[in-house]
Amino acid sequence: MSSIDPISKTDDLIFRCGTDLPCFNMCCRGLNQTITGYDILKISRFKNISTQKFLVAYSFSYTGKQTGMPVVSLFEKPEKDNACIFLDDSGCSIYDARPLACRLYPAARGISKDKRTGKLKEHFAIINEDHCEGFGLGSSMTIAQWIEDQGAHDYIEANDFFMQLVLDLGEKGIKPDKNQKELILSGCYNLDLFLEKVISGSIDNTGMPAPEELKNNDLLLFKTGVQWTRDQLLKI
């Protein structure tokens, strides 16, 4: 029976995935996989396309019920059991640039804000799916070691920087209107368009890193876009 079981960052995980397992890629179907702007940026760089082309070709957006924020999800392939748009016969076609959720699987990570300190707290769980046969195989790692092994640190930093904005808007009771949603999509998701506006001076780039720095540092570009969005929405 499938379950989601809490786990700590210091607890051990014994898990391996591979083409030799009969369940290989079954976890890549029927996901409604949401992605962050940083995920989009890394996949776009991997595929050598703009974030604008990515958004049109591989994703759709909708409004989150609780936050009122725009949410971006990957297309699926209905004709192939709702497989992820990037899943092909040999596996994940963007494996080296796969999103954070895919990197962490079968672990999952969530965050909340400590009401006393205002700081973010992270929570981990293990997703046990009936079809998965990878548990008990491979080397034992703590969840912290698993994060390191999967190259997830920058992705987590980006996720938390964006989620801080989402939580702050929620605390202030702000649900973005149509224009604000477009602003969020531009500043937090369509980051190549944001960079073009920085370079052209069509948005105020006072205090921002130099365009050349932004071009060469994906995490810096993402965080700069989110910070600009925050400034527009919260007038901080």
Question: Can you say how many angstroms the Cα of residue 136 is from the centroid of all Cα atoms in its chain?
Answer: 27
22 exposed, middle or buried (CB, 10 Å; 0-12, 13-18, 19+)?
Answer: exposed
In a domain, residue 193? The reply is yes
In a domain, residue 88? The reply is no
Span 3-10, average pLDDT:
95
Please tell me the total count of domains within the chain.
1
Contact 190, 35 (CB under 8 A): no
Residue-level pLDDT at 154: 98
Residue-level pLDDT at 114: 86
pTM, two decimals, is: 0.94
The percent of residues above 90 in pLDDT, for the chain, comes to 90
Round to whole Å and give the CA distance between 28 and 31: 7
In a domain, residue 55? The reply is no
Q: Which two tokens stand for residue 53?
A: 């082309």
Q: Scanning the structure block, which residue is given the tokens 């959720």?
A: 101
Please, how many CA atoms are within 13 Å of residue 87, restricted to the half-sphere of its CB? 21
Of 74 and 115, which is predicted with more confidence? 74
Tell me the per-residue pLDDT of 89-123, one tens digit each, with 9 for 90 and over: 889 999 999 999 999 999 999 999 888 888 899 99
Round to whole Å and give the CA distance between 36 and 113: 19
Judged against a pLDDT cut of 60, whether residue 61 lies above it is answered with: yes
In a domain, residue 177? The reply is yes
Residue partners of 232: CB distance under 8 A and separation at least 6: 183, 187
Question: Can you say how many angstroms the Cα of residue 82 is from the centroid of all Cα atoms in its chain?
Answer: 20
Q: Which two tokens stand for residue 134?
A: 């990878």
In a domain, residue 196? The reply is yes
Residue 230 belongs to domain spanning: 156-234
Judged against a pLDDT cut of 60, whether residue 236 lies above it is answered with: no
In a domain, residue 221? The reply is yes
In a domain, residue 201? The reply is yes
95 to 47, 66, 213, 216: CA distances (angstroms)? 11, 31, 26, 22
Judged against a pLDDT cut of 70, whether residue 1 lies above it is answered with: no
In a domain, residue 225? The reply is yes
Q: Scanning the structure block, which residue is given the tokens 């083409």?
A: 19
Residue-level pLDDT at 69: 95
Short-list 118, 177, 193, 212, CA closest to 228: 193
